[in-house]
Amino acid sequence: MQRLFLFAAVSALLVGLAGLFLTRPKSVDQAILHGVSSDLTRGEIVFYAAGCASCHSAPDAVGEEKLTLAGGRRFETNFGTFIAPNISSDPAAGIGSWSTLELANALIHGTGPKGQHYYPAFPYTTYANMTAEDIVSLHAFLGTLPAVATESKAHEVVFPFSVRRGLGGWKLLFMAPGWVVEGDLTDQQIRGRYLVEALGHCAECHTPRNGLGGLKRDIWLTGAPNPNGKGRIPGLTSDQLDWSEADIAEYLKSGFTPDYDSAGGEMVEVIENTSQLTDDDRLAIAAYLKVVPGQSTELLSE
Amino acid sequence: MMKKFSIFAAGLLSVVAIGAAIAHESENPAVKARTSIMQLYAFNLGTLGGMAKGETEYDAEAATRAANNLVVLTQIDQSAMWLAGSDNVSDPSTRALPAIWENFPDVAAKGQAMADAAVAMQAAAGQDVEALKGAMGNLGGACSACHKAYRAPKD
């Protein structure tokens, strides 16, 4: 009997340790950043393609104000309200003191400099696919933006989601680095895939989520309920979006739809970013969307 | 009795039919008028956009004519078309948010931005296709700025 108890206790301890080990915040191997040089022009493109300002600029910032990444925008979700932090170049209130390694850990693993898990409202599930060159260049570009001393506010998240360790489990379940659209792609489609799947985080809104907020990657970009109210975020798969590649590229530049209505809602802010990209990059996104597989109606009605 | 009921039913049906018609197009001439102006914008933007996308061949004269029309459209005095009570709360056929009537100075500023973008397109349209492409972005931005703030999303 005593032996059985001992066995159970040791097993429980091992399972607990394994759990702690598996849910620990991960960090990148410093070697991937070794010898990678930064390029400010590249960093600026990454900044716009990744849409940093859409969440991290102050609420209601317009034009140039969007380059001041003071944070403060509120995102209401089923798990609580997330408040975008200050990521300006201020060394105390912002992330001005971060090394490229610390930025890489945040983007690739959702791990903060104190070794804490970030909530996936920050789309590191997408940024996990970023190249070392882009991370190093983004780090340099962020350093050129204004410093602002606004204190970041704590997220308003209720138990059990307030236990950050639990996010380690969430990451195990739902972080799936690597590409969704595979196969024989052209260079243009591969660039588009990088812009959509590694930087643009289009899927965060355009792909349905499960009950725990994980993306249903098997029905990628098929459209989803609008988290901010009525209506539906449209699907972008090749069978749902029947715009030509030129139509898609023009929409991402000027916001004009093929019948010359203009973009509305959240897409206006997205287009403020995509309008800063090159024509080639916008056409690459369009080329990629044309190879995103469509879905049968049975899958969609699940 | 039956006949009376039929007349009542027919009357009810026509009320429902009118209701359905209203849901598509406003009965209010002011709303119709401002919607028509939006269609005229879209038509002329279509000429320019077709060239920007490379769907149609660049034609300096046709582009200039379309850009001239856009400038004329921004000069129409629309004050009689935006009367109080023609928002989407009072009239479900329109997507015009009540905020328009609460922020007239901002609406006017956004209208001015549109007028400036149209004048810039007028200067660019006749030059070459690259200049035209460049001017499309500001036009789109001006349209979106107002639509984002003051137009309800589609159902």
Are residues A230 and B153, on separate chains, in Cβ contact within 8 Å? yes
Per-residue pLDDT of A239-264, as tens digits, reads 999 999 999 999 999 999 999 999 87
Q: Do A84 and A105 share a domain, yes or no?
A: yes
Q: Do A204 and A67 share a domain, yes or no?
A: no
Structure tokens at A218: 């098997």
The DSSP letter of residue B92 is T
The closest of A49, A43, A156, A123 to A89, measured between CA atoms, is A43
Does pLDDT of B6 surpass 60? no
Instruction: Confirm or reject contact between A268 and chain B (CB < 8 A).
Output: yes
Instruction: Confirm or reject contact between A265 and chain B (CB < 8 A).
Output: yes
- Any domain includes A45: yes
- Which helix (DSSP H) or strand (DSSP E) does residue A82 occupy? strand A80-83
- Any domain includes A21: no
- Any domain includes A146: yes
Q: CB-based contacts of A184: which residues, under 8 Å, 6+ apart?
A: none
At B7, is the pLDDT very low, low, confident or very high (cuts 50, 70, 90)? low
- Any domain includes A165: yes
Q: Which of A174, A202, A229 is the last residue of a domain?
A: A174
- Any domain includes A210: yes
Residue type for A102, please?
E
| Predicted pLDDT of residue A122 | 96
In this prediction, what percent of chain A has a pLDDT beyond 70? 96
Q: Which residues in chain A are closer than 8 Å to B103, comparing Cβ atoms?
A: none
| Number of domains observed in the structure of chain A | 2
- Any domain includes A13: no
Q: Do A47 and A71 share a domain, yes or no?
A: yes
| Predicted pLDDT of residue A90 | 97
For B:36-75, CB contacts with A below 8 A are 41-43, 45-46, 49, 52-55
Are residues B137 and A261, on separate chains, in Cβ contact within 8 Å? no
Q: Which residue of B has its CA nearest to A246?
A: B53
Cβ atoms of residues A28 and A104 within 8 Å: yes
Taken as a whole, chain B contains a residue count of: 155
Q: Do A72 and A192 share a domain, yes or no?
A: no
Q: Which residue of A has its CA nearest to B141?
A: A254
- Any domain includes A1: no
A255-261: long-range pairs with CB below 8 Å, 24+: A255/B140, A255/B141, A255/B143, A255/B144, A256/B45, A256/B49, A256/B136, A256/B140, A256/B143, A259/B42, A259/B46, A260/B41, A260/B42, A260/B43, A260/B45, A260/B46, A260/B49, A261/B42
The complex's ipTM works out to 0.78
Q: Which residue of A has its CA nearest to B47?
A: A260
Distance (Å, rounded) from C-alpha A188 to C-alpha A287? Answer: 7
Encode chain A (302 residues) as per-residue pLDDT tens digits.
567 677 777 777 777 777 777 888 888 888 899 999 999 999 999 999 999 999 999 998 888 999 999 999 999 988 899 999 999 999 999 999 999 999 999 999 999 999 999 999 999 999 999 999 999 999 999 999 999 999 999 999 988 888 888 899 889 899 888 999 999 999 999 999 999 999 999 999 999 999 899 999 999 999 998 877 777 899 999 899 999 999 999 999 999 999 999 987 789 999 999 999 999 999 999 999 999 998 754 444 43
CATH number of the domain located at residue range(s) B29-150 in this protein: 1.20.120.10
Q: Do A38 and A145 share a domain, yes or no?
A: yes
Q: Do A147 and A236 share a domain, yes or no?
A: no
Q: Do A165 and A207 share a domain, yes or no?
A: no
| Domain range enclosing A257 | 187-300
Q: Do A197 and A270 share a domain, yes or no?
A: yes
Q: Do A158 and A61 share a domain, yes or no?
A: yes
Are residues A275 and B153, on separate chains, in Cβ contact within 8 Å? no
Q: Do A41 and A148 share a domain, yes or no?
A: yes
**Of the candidates B55, B136, B144, which has its C-beta nearest A246's C-beta?**
B55
Q: Do A256 and A285 share a domain, yes or no?
A: yes
Min CA distance, A38 vs chain B (Å)?
29
- Any domain includes A134: yes
Instruction: Confirm or reject contact between B141 and chain A (CB < 8 A).
Output: yes
Q: Do A217 and A264 share a domain, yes or no?
A: yes
Are residues B144 and A271, on separate chains, in Cβ contact within 8 Å? yes
Are residues B139 and A254, on separate chains, in Cβ contact within 8 Å? yes
Min CA distance, B153 vs chain A (Å)?
7
CATH code for position A279: 1.10.760
